Structure 1
Amino acid sequence: MTQTVQMVGVYVRDQDEARTFYVDKLGFTVQSDVRNGDYRWLTVQCPGQPFQLGLFRPGPPVHDAATAQTLQAMVAKGAMPPLVLEVADCRAAHARMLAAGVEFTQEPIDRYGTVDAGFRDPSGNGWKMIQARRAG
């Protein structure tokens, strides 16, 4: 049996804001942006990767109002597990993203035999940016 994870969703407070952040600041591309009434299916993809990231707003038809409010509060507090972005050069990516207005929670530091930094999206979702280890 062959299985592949095709997409993982993250909750965002504003899908237009999230789309702008992921496309304009991180360099992702929009794969789907479909509306069905008040519901919107929005996915982005890191270039060269088959994996998609769903940018979803908590609420109907999936969540009731109370659940949606709780999820939005958790995201805003950074309570969701961090996502990981692998880059070739963490310091160079940090400089480029900082110039684009990305909010960093941790400057690049050397540890564990590589370099990593932390940032978050406009909704509060935490990211770790890790420099790829060199083969050898």
Structure 2
Amino acid sequence: MNIALQYCHITVNDVDEALAFYRDALGLEVRNDVASSGFRWVTLGSPGRPFPEFVLSEPHAGRSQADGDALQELLTKGVLSMIVFRTDDLDTTFEKVRASGAEVLQEPIDQPWGPRDSAFRDPSGNMVRIQQGPTA
């Protein structure tokens, strides 16, 4: 049996603002953009790789008012799950993302458990870590 991650949903306050971060700063490509009932779901992925894909949507998209309100509160607090990307050139990626105006949480450092990594907040406050594996 083979199993692999296909989609990862990222809740954002504003899909267009998030696109400037995930598409323009991180370099993901838009694969699908679906509108329904006043909301959008935008699917992005890494160029040349079919999966995983990342789906951007607002807290109330496809959810009840109560669930959307609860998710919005968690997003506002900045306590939703972080997402971790991997790159083969952390320093270049870091500088590109920093130049986009993203909030820097941690400049690139070598972690004691192996990877070299950095951290940002996307425009909605989600923590995004970017790692490069050890150069052994």
Fold shared by both chains (TM-score > 0.5): yes
Q: Is the 8 A contact 1:114 1:132 kept in 2?
A: yes
How big is the shift at 1:79?
0.4
1:75-102 Cα offsets, whole Å, 9 max, x none, are 2222012111111122222122111222
Q: Specify every segment of 5 or more residues in structure 1 that has no aligned partner in the other structure, as ranges.
A: none
1:26-85 Cα offsets, whole Å, 9 max, x none, are 11110000112323221111223221000011215x322232122112122220121111
Separation in structure 1 between the aligned mates of residue 46 and residue 105 of structure 2, nearest angstrom? 22
How big is the shift at 1:104?
1.1
Q: Which residue of 2 aligns with 1:56?
A: 57
Q: Which residue of 2 aligns with 1:133?
A: 134
Q: Which residue of 2 aligns with 1:78?
A: 78
**For 1:1-136, what aligned pairs fall within 5 Å after superposition?**
1-50=1-50, 51-60=52-61, 62-112=62-112, 113-134=114-135, 136=136
Q: Is the 8 A contact 2:21 2:100 kept in 1?
A: no
Q: Is the 8 A contact 2:18 2:122 kept in 1?
A: yes
- Structure 1 residues 89 and 46, CA gap change in structure 2 (3 angstroms): same
How big is the shift at 1:133?
2.7
One-letter amino acid matched to 1:22: Y
Q: Is the 8 A contact 1:76 1:125 kept in 2?
A: no
Separation in structure 1 between the aligned mates of residue 115 and residue 15 of structure 2, nearest angstrom? 33
Q: Is the 8 A contact 1:89 1:132 kept in 2?
A: no
How big is the shift at 1:107?
1.3
% of aligned pairs identical?
Answer: 36
How big is the shift at 1:20?
2.0
Separation in structure 2 between the aligned mates of residue 8 and residue 52 of structure 1, nearest angstrom? 6
The 3-state SS of whatever aligns with 2:23 is helix
Separation in structure 2 between the aligned mates of residue 128 and residue 66 of structure 1, nearest angstrom? 30
So what's the TM-score if we normalise by structure 2?
A: 0.87
RMSD: 1.7
How big is the shift at 1:4?
2.9
Q: Is the 8 A contact 2:26 2:93 kept in 1?
A: no
Structure 1 segments of 4+ aligned residues over 4 angstroms from their partners: none
